[in-house]
């Protein structure tokens, strides 16, 4: 799986959009970009994933650049409950690889 | 629909003791896996299963055994607990391991301390 690079921490004001960047410059054509988050002491929570098109669901939007070397997770109206560690993962389960690998992620702190 | 259920939530073991961490899902998911998370670190894959009767090792399998006799259950057995196994353990499941499928559902974790 391609290595991803995320800033270790970010701050965001409550009610504002939180834009979390992720670099995955070595991503291969069949690797999806997945985002998870982990609120303190809880199990990780799946947010969204995409291959090359932008994606949106009830939680967030995912913007993937045309060259697929980076992506941005957007939380449109951040709340205090969005404070968490956010993980960006490039993953392809082709062949015998089923191993979703988590890095250290970005600690997003939403401030009142 | 309970999702992924892990028991117990907390456990203290003495060095050398054995125990089984339970994981059950009611979503008919094929794929199940166990991760451990140590303070300040990301999650590391211990073992995984792509279906009943099929298991394989992840990054850190030593000291742990798994079996998958049913689709619903994926227990993790610690053979002889060591202080290095003090960690938070998460079980995860997904209906498929195929790229592009929906993400994994995680349990709430088991906090294990080995003294």
User: Tens digits of per-residue pLDDT, B12-65?
Assistant: 999 999 999 999 999 999 899 999 999 877 889 999 998 999 999 998 999 999
B114 and A CB contact within 8 Å: no
Residues of chain B with C-beta less than 8 angstroms from the C-beta of A87: 42
Is residue A80 classed exposed, middle or buried when 0-12, 13-18 and 19+ CB atoms within 10 A define those classes?
A: exposed
How close is the nearest chain A Cα to the Cα of B15, in Å? 25
Nearest Cβ partner for B48 among A32, A44, A98: A98
Nearest Cβ partner for B99 among A30, A101, A105: A30
* Cα-based distances in Å from A75 to A23, B4, B18: 18, 26, 43
Q: What is the pLDDT of residue B9?
A: 96
Q: What is the pLDDT of residue B42?
A: 81
How close is the nearest chain A Cα to the Cα of B35, in Å? 10
Q: Do A43 and B31 touch (CB under 8 A)?
A: no
Percent of all residues in chain A with a pLDDT value above 90, rounded to a whole number: 72
Q: What is the pLDDT of residue A30?
A: 82
A31-84: pLDDT as tens digits: 889 999 999 889 999 999 999 989 999 999 999 999 999 999 999 999 999 999
A96 pLDDT more than 80: no
The CA distance from B88 to B24, in Å, is 17
Residues of chain B with C-beta less than 8 angstroms from the C-beta of A8: none
Q: Which residues contact B90 (CB under 8 A, 6 or more apart)?
A: A43, A44, B6, B34, B35, B36, B37, B43, B106, B107, B109
Q: What is the pLDDT of residue B97?
A: 66
Q: What is the pLDDT of residue A29?
A: 83
Q: What is the pLDDT of residue B96?
A: 74
B57-108: pLDDT as tens digits: 998 999 999 999 999 999 999 999 999 999 999 999 988 766 667 788 999 9
Q: Do A31 and B99 touch (CB under 8 A)?
A: yes
Q: Which residue has the higher pLDDT, B95 or A15?
A: A15
How close is the nearest chain A Cα to the Cα of B91, in Å? 9
Q: Do B103 and A36 touch (CB under 8 A)?
A: yes
Q: What is the pLDDT of residue A87?
A: 95
Q: Encoding tokens for residue A67?
A: 């060259």
How close is the nearest chain B Cα to the Cα of A22, in Å? 16
Q: What is the pLDDT of residue A1?
A: 62
A15-19, A87-91, A100-104, B76-80: lowest mean pLDDT where? Answer: A100-104
A71-75, A101-105, B5-9: lowest mean pLDDT where? Answer: A101-105
């Amino acid at each position: 799986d391609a290595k991803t690079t995320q800033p270790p921490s970010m701050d965001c004001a409550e009610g504002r959009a939180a834009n979390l960047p992720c670099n995955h410059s070595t991503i291969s054509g069949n690797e999806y970009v997945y985002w998870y988050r982990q609120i303190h002491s809880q199990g990780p929570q799946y947010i969204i994933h995409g291959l090359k098109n932008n994606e949106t669901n009830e939680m967030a939007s995912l913007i993937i650049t045309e060259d697929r070397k980076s992506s941005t997770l957007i939380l449109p109206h951040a709340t205090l409950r969005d404070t968490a560690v956010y993980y960006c993962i490039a993953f392809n389960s082709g062949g015998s690889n089923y191993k979703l690998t988590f890095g250290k992620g970005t600690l997003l702190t939403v401030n009142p | 629909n309970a999702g992924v259920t892990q028991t117990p939530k907390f456990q203290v073991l003495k060095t050398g003791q054995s125990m089984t961490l339970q994981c059950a899902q009611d979503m008919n998911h094929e794929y199940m896996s166990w991760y451990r998370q140590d303070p300040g670190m990301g999650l590391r894959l211990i073992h995984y299963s792509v279906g009943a009767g099929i298991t394989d090792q992840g990054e850190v399998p030593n000291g742990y055994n798994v079996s998958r006799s049913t689709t619903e259950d994926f227990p993790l057995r610690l053979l002889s607990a060591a202080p290095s196994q003090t960690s938070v353990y998460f079980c995860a499941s997904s209906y498929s391991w195929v790229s592009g499928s929906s993400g994994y559902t995680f349990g709430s974790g088991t906090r294990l301390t080995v003294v």
